[in-house]
């Protein structure tokens, strides 16, 4: 519990430092936040590893999976932000990671499901895909806000903390490309390793995941073939991400928290 508390505080400190840096000099690329973020990510991962060692198996229930996605988002943001690009995204991501970790800690002990290495590989592909595409969804929201501010000629200081519009859009599509590859690996590993993929409790999850994959793939195809950008990219990204959230966390919420099934 101490590890969790320190990690949550470190996340919030990193976010607060980023906010202070943006207010003081939006155009600067300070790394004052980096140490706190690294500490938070390391302790967040340690909390999960310690729980897995105690239970003897990977813990992937609803709150654990949510926390792992938060960890993946925070790690990706820290990695990209350390290069001087989009560190400001941590203002959104780090509190989200802190919230998911806190929820995981408050959920208490949950019996871990013993999965063989193939199902664990499928699960890790899924969690990495969700984390990467969640970052893409946040980038899409930031892109929409930035475009809206520029159209209204609202040249506020925080805009200078963001990359130029073209660079931000390029980062969005590169992130979607990586997430799409991971989602493809998730679906393929599911077909290869998951028995009874179309069992009753997996039908909706499978269908929604495939629809999300088609939406992300259609967006990438539209970008390559027709040069889609701006509002079109934002709408497709958020719609595809909504399908993915419903596919995984929506189904886990209903099955585990509403129906009480593992």
Q: What is the pLDDT of residues 199-258, one digit of tens each?
A: 556 677 888 899 999 999 999 999 999 888 888 999 999 999 999 998 888 776 666 665
Lowest mean pLDDT among 21-35, 75-89, 125-139, 204-218: 21-35
Calpha distance 7→12 (Å, rounded): 9
Where is pLDDT greater, at 4 or 198?
A: 4
Give CA–CA dist 5/64, Å, rounded. 16
User: 232 and 222 in contact (C-beta within 8 Å)?
Assistant: yes
The pairs formed by 250-257 with CB atoms below 8 angstroms and a separation of 24 or more are: 250/208, 251/201, 251/204, 251/205, 251/208, 252/61, 252/62, 252/65, 253/62, 255/201, 256/61, 256/62, 257/62
The distance from CA 22 to its chain's CA centroid, rounded to whole angstroms, is: 23
CA–CA dist 53, 233 (Å, integer): 42
Q: Which of 4-8, 112-116, 139-143, 240-244 shows the lowest mean pLDDT across its residues?
A: 112-116
Residue 35, pLDDT > 90, answer: yes
Instruction: Examine the pLDDT at 113 and tell me if it is beyond 80.
Output: no
Residues in the chain: 262
Q: Integer distance in angstroms from the first to the last C-alpha of the chain? A: 25
Does 198 have pLDDT greater than 60?
no
Q: Judge whether residue 117 has pLDDT over 70.
A: no
Q: Does 193 or 182 have the greater pLDDT score?
A: 182
248 vs 28 pLDDT, higher one: 248
Residue 107 makes CB contacts below 8 A (sequence gap 6+) with: 61, 62, 63, 64
Going from the C-alpha of 41 to that of each of 111, 205, 242, the distances in angstroms are: 25, 29, 26
Please, which pLDDT band fits residue 169 given cuts at 50, 70 and 90?
very high
Report pTM: 0.90
Cα Dmax for the chain: 56
* Residue (of 38, 31, 32, 30) closest to 10 by Cα position: 38
Model pLDDT, residue 7 = 97
Q: What is the mean pLDDT of the chain?
A: 85
> Residue 58, Cβ neighbours under 10 Å: how many?
19
Give the pLDDT confidence score for residue 26 in this predicted structure: 63
Neighbours of 134 (CB within 10 A): 22
Q: Each residue of 57-110: pLDDT tens digit?
A: 667 778 888 999 999 999 999 998 888 778 889 999 999 999 999 999 887 655
1 vs 220, higher pLDDT: 220
Q: What per-residue confidence (pLDDT) applies to 262? A: 54
Q: What is the mean pLDDT of residues 179-189?
A: 94
- Exposure b/e, 93-115, CB count within 10 A at least 16 = b: bbbbbbebbbebbebeebebeee
Q: What is the pLDDT of residue 44?
A: 97
Q: What is the structure's pLDDT at 155? A: 63
Given this model, what pLDDT does residue 261 score?
56
Beta strand spans in the chain (E)? none
Comparison of pLDDT for 98 and 162, the residue scoring more: 98
The pLDDT of residue 157 is 64
Please give the Cα distance from 11 to 44 (Å, whole number): 10
Residues 6 or more apart from 77 whose CB is under 8 A from it?
Answer: 37, 86, 87, 89, 90, 93, 94, 135
pLDDT exceeding 70 applies to what percent of the chain? 83
**What are the backbone dihedrals phi and psi of residue 12, each rounded to the nearest 5 degrees, phi first?**
-65, -35
């Amino acid at each position: 519990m101490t590890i969790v508390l320190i990690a949550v505080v470190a996340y919030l400190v990193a976010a607060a430092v980023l906010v202070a840096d943006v207010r003081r000099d939006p155009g600067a690329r300070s790394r004052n936040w980096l140490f706190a973020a690294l500490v938070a990510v390391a302790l967040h991962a340690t909390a999960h590893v310690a729980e897995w060692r105690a239970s003897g198996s990977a813990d992937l229930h609803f709150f654990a999976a949510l926390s792992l996605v938060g960890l993946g988002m925070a790690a990706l943001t820290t990695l990209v932000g350390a290069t001087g690009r989009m560190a400001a995204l941590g203002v959104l991501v780090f509190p989200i990671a802190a919230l998911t970790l806190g929820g995981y800690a408050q959920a208490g002990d949950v019996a871990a499901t013993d999965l063989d290495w193939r199902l664990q590989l499928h699960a890790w592909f899924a969690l990495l895909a969700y984390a990467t595409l969640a970052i893409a969804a946040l980038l899409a929201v930031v892109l929409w806000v930035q475009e809206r501010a520029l159209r209204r000629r609202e040249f506020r200081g925080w805009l200078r903390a963001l990359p130029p519009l073209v660079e931000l859009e390029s980062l969005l599509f590169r992130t979607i490309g990586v997430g799409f590859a991971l989602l493809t690996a998730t679906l393929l590993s599911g077909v290869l390793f998951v028995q009874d993929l179309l069992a009753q409790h997996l039908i909706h999850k499978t269908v929604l995941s495939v629809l999300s994959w088609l939406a992300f793939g259609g967006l990438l195809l539209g970008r390559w073939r027709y040069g889609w950008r701006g509002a079109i990219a934002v709408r497709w990204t958020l719609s595809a991400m909504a399908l993915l959230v419903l596919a995984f966390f929506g189904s886990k919420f209903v099955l585990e928290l509403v129906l009480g099934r593992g």
